[in-house]
């Protein structure tokens, strides 16, 4: 099929940036979205133009590196997938596709479609861990039974890939789904309860300092999340935060 791509080009963080039109032909429906961009870039390089920069790595939906905002949706029109798992069969011959970076104050653009998401790392530095030494001299793994329901919920929260689609989809650029998922994973496990108070206070404080907005419960983040992280995690974080503040 033949398509028209409108792609955000921005030389560097200080450049103003603009949308540029690129026609592309002979796109196979079996291509992934990123493979389609590979073909575009190959053509640009062969013509002596600069290729479009975008983040990507594992190309199987787990590393969380790819981060495109396609036709107004994080990771494009399909559900439950990252951009690398989006296939061209989701589009029709003659379509125009607008491709932008994930936009948020806390995610400044580095170049073209590449953004800086290190704010997520800094939130994790503030408390996204259990303070156990890695010496291996812990207790036997089966000495801490965890009921399956809690273990499964903790796992579901832990499947967050840190891509930032939640932030890009939120009109307030809130990171509550991301932070809520991490807080929830530990809050649901007995190992995580010991530091629960400090963890939620520190992570939320860092989140606010990074310039992420507040949650107004529109639920857009949950819809666009490629891993289906549930809004329940935000509710759980709010409960944890309230508890911690009262203790505080």
Partner 1 sequence: MALDSKIPKGPLADKWTNYKNSNNLVNPANKRLIDVIVVGTGLAGGSAAATLAELGYNVKAFCFQDSPRRAHSIAAQGGINAAKNYQGDGDSTYRLFYDTVKGGDYRSREANVYRLAEVSANIIDQCVAQGVPFAREYGGLLDNRSFGGVLVSRTFYAAGQTGQQLLLGAYSALNRQIGRGKVKMYNRHEMLDVVIVDGKARGIIARNLVTGEIERHSAHAVVLGTGGYGNVFFLSTNAMGSNVTAAWKAHKRGAYFANPCYTQIHPTCIPVSGDHQSKLTLMSESLRNDGRIWVPKHKKDVDAIRAGKLKPTQLEEADRDYYLERRYPAFGNLVPRDVASRAAKERCDAGFGVNATGEAVYLDFAAAFMRYGKEQAHVRGLDESDDALVRKLGQEVVKNKYGNLFQMYEKIVDQNPYETPMMIYPAVHYTMGGIWVDYNLQTTVPGLYAIGEANFSDHGANRLGASALMQGLADGYFVLPYTIGDYLADDIRTGPIPTNSPAFDEAEKSVRDNIAHLIDNKGTHSVDYFHKRLGKIMWNKCGMARNAEDLNSAISEIAELRKEFWKDVRVPGTNEEFNEELAKALRVADFLELGELFAKDALLREESAGGHFREEHQTPEGEAKRRKEFQYVSAWEFKGEPKDAVLHKEDLVYENIEVKERSYK
By CB under 8 A, what part of segment 61-120 binds partner 1?
Answer: 61-65, 78, 80-81, 85, 87, 89, 110-111, 114, 116-118, 120
CB 20 → partner 1: shortest distance, Å?
16
User: In this chain, which of 4, 25, 28, 245 binds partner 1, going by CB under 8 A?
Assistant: 28
Q: How far apart are CA 168 and CA 238, in angstroms?
A: 21
Q: Which of 176, 12, 210 lies closest to 106, judged by CA? A: 210
Q: Answer yes or no: are the C-beta atoms of 79 and 27 closer than 8 Å.
A: no
- The DSSP line for 95-138 is -EEEEEE---TTS-EEETTEE--HHHHHHHHTT-S----TTS-S
User: In this chain, which of 20, 72, 93, 144 binds partner 1, going by CB under 8 A?
Assistant: 144
Give whichever of 59 and 103 is closer to partner 1, judged by the CB atom.
59
User: In this chain, which of 1, 9, 17, 51 binds partner 1, going by CB under 8 A?
Assistant: 51
CB 192 → partner 1: shortest distance, Å?
5
Q: Which of 177, 195, 178 lies closest to 186, judged by CA? A: 195
List Cβ neighbours of 133 (8 Å cut-off, separation of 6 or more): none
Q: Which of residues 174-203 bind partner 1 (CB under 8 A)?
A: 185-186, 189, 191-192
User: Burial of 121 by CB count in 10 Å (0-12 exposed, 13-18 middle, 19+ buried)?
Assistant: exposed
2 contributes a contact to partner 1 by CB under 8 A: no
Which secondary-structure segment (H or E) carries 87? none
Q: Which of 114, 90, 92 lies closest to 32, judged by CA? A: 90
CB 31 → partner 1: shortest distance, Å?
5
69-77, 145-153, 215-223, 234-242 -> range binding partner 1 (CB under 8 A):
145-153
- Bridge partners, 4 (sequence order): 23, 96
Q: Answer yes or no: are the C-beta atoms of 105 and 7 closer than 8 Å.
A: no
20 contributes a contact to partner 1 by CB under 8 A: no
User: In this chain, which of 142, 246, 247, 248 binds partner 1, going by CB under 8 A?
Assistant: 142
User: In this chain, which of 21, 46, 246, 248 binds partner 1, going by CB under 8 A?
Assistant: 46
CB 142 → partner 1: shortest distance, Å?
5
List Cβ neighbours of 15 (8 Å cut-off, separation of 6 or more): none
User: In this chain, which of 1, 9, 53, 235 binds partner 1, going by CB under 8 A?
Assistant: 53
30 contributes a contact to partner 1 by CB under 8 A: yes
User: In this chain, which of 3, 34, 68, 244 binds partner 1, going by CB under 8 A?
Assistant: 34
Give whichever of 147 and 218 is closer to partner 1, judged by the CB atom.
147
CB 216 → partner 1: shortest distance, Å?
27
Q: Which of 113, 33, 41 lies closest to 77, judged by CA? A: 33
């Amino acid at each position: 099929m033949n398509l028209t791509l409108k792609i955000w080009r921005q030389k560097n963080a200080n450049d103003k940036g603009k949308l540029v039109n690129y026609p592309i032909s002979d796109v196979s429906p079996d291509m992934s979205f990123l493979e389609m961009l590979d073909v575009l870039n190959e053509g640009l390089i062969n013509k002596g133009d600069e290729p479009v920069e975008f983040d990507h790595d594992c190309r199987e939906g787990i590393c969380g590196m790819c981060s495109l905002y396609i036709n107004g949706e994080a990771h494009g029109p399909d559900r439950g997938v990252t951009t690398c798992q989006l296939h061209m069969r989701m589009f029709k011959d003659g379509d125009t596709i607008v491709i932008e970076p994930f936009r948020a104050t806390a995610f400044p653009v580095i170049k073209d479609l590449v953004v800086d998401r290190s704010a997520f790392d800094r939130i994790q530095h503030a408390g996204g861990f259990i303070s156990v030494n890695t010496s291996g001299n812990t207790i036997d793994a089966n000495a801490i039974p965890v009921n399956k329901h809690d273990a499964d919920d903790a796992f579901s929260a832990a499947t967050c890939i840190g891509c930032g689609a939640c932030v890009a989809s939120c009109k307030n650029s809130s990171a509550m789904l991301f932070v809520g998922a991490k807080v929830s994973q530990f809050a649901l496990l007995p190992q995580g309860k010991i530091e629960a108070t400090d963890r939620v206070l520190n992570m939320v404080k860092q989140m606010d300092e990074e310039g992420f907005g507040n949650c107004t419960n529109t639920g857009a983040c949950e819809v666009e999340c490629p891993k289906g992280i549930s809004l329940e995690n935000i509710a759980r974080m709010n409960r944890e935060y309230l508890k911690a503040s009262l203790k505080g």
